[in-house]
Structure 1
Amino acid sequence: MENRVGQEIADALGVLLRRTTRTKLHGRLTEGMGEALDELTYPVLSALARTGPRSAADLASEVGLDRSGVTRRASRLEAAGLVRREPDPADRRASLLVLTEEGERAVGELRERLVRHIARSLDSWPPEEAETFARQLRRFTAEGPFS
């Protein structure tokens, strides 16, 4: 039984972690939020919100891109006023990517959209099952193979 459950979880995680799954979700979440904010730039904006100011090189591993990929996406976000560059106090040759107030508002809207999207997908579940799932998923991410 243990292997079967592990396999079911591994299969489900495979779907969740697939790049196409994430890209599709990011596209839905960013719809109508302006040209600069789309499924390609969403991970950069979201990662900055999670980690705080970072260089493009440091952010690259967080979003699964190389430095030049982060830089291209950050430039689009910067042109839209969602991100700004500041000198890195630890390295004069480098700059940090920082969310602007407008960027922080966009992240807030994106998080609200994500919460509504998840809640709608659970509408058909009995409330106690949805609550149990949320609690167990939180436990799995805290204690499981990701910790």
Structure 2
Amino acid sequence: MTPESPGEPAPGLSPDDLLAVLPRITRLSSAFNKGRLIERAVEAAGPSLDRPAVGVLVSLLAAGEPLRIGEIADRMQVVGPHVTRQVQALERRRLVRRIADPLDRRASLIEPTETGNEAARRYVASVLGWLAEVLADWPRQDRDDLLRLLARFADDVLARLALPEEGEGGQG
């Protein structure tokens, strides 16, 4: 099997092993997406902010530098027009501002204002505080292993999702 042939388990991985973990991944995804964790974190970010707006602010905070709309969209895994609408709303609330791109004066970069950064920090603190509570009783090595493996898993999933699907780009 090659990395280009999705849908087949790697050698040594039993489909039963993967099937056993799938319901947990589904439940975990649902808990994050539908649970009160994200709602509470959004509420902590600031009054009347919604999840997409907070997503833009957190993307900018994590980047540590101003970004183009397309870069924000890539980081959020959404389309550019969605981010454009969010940025316009955040601009009206003075949570972000546009600045000239020093490499291309025709383009704009988006940067958070201090108020926007504060909202993003409150959101992140709420999520991280909750996760820290969940992991508080785990041995240090288990926490380190989880963080290392989860980062690797997320990177590998995103890399796989970025591959063209079979039949695209002249492959077949």
Deviation, 1:115, is 2.0
Give the counterpart of 2:138 among 111, 128, 137.
Answer: 128
2:69 pairs, out of 31, 36, 56, with 56
Q: 1:109 aligns to what SS in structure 2?
A: helix
Change (3 A) 1:121 1:142: closer
The equivalent residue for 1:94 is 107
Quick one: which amino acid aligns to residue 30 of structure 1?
V
Determine the structure 2 residue equivalent to 1:74.
87
Gaps in structure 1 of 5+ consecutive residues: none
| SS in structure 2 at match of 1:40 | helix
Q: TM (normalized to structure 1)?
A: 0.77
RMSD (Å), alpha carbons: 2.7
The equivalent residue for 1:45 is 57
Greater relative contact order structure (CA < 8 Å, 6+ sep): 2
Contact 2:38/2:127 (<8 A) preserved: no
- Gaps in structure 2 of 5+ consecutive residues: 1-11, 157-172
Q: Is the contact made by 1:29 and 1:110 (CA closer than 8 Å) also made in structure 2?
A: yes
Q: Counterparts of 1:143 and 1:119 in 2: how far apart (Å)?
A: 20
Between the aligned partners of 2:116 and 2:154, the Cα distance in structure 1 is 32
Once the two structures are superposed, what CA deviation does each residue of 1:49-76 show, in whole Å capped at 9, x if it has no partner? 1112111112111101111100111122
2:150 is the alignment partner of 1:141: yes
* Superposition deviation, residue 12 in structure 1: 3.5
What's the CA shift for 1:81? 1.8
Query: Following the alignment from structure 1 to structure 2, what is the Cα–Cα distance between the partners of residues 7 and 133?
Result: 23
**Bigger CA radius of gyration:** 2
**Residue-pair matches, total:** 141
Deviation at 1:10, TM superposition (A): 4.7
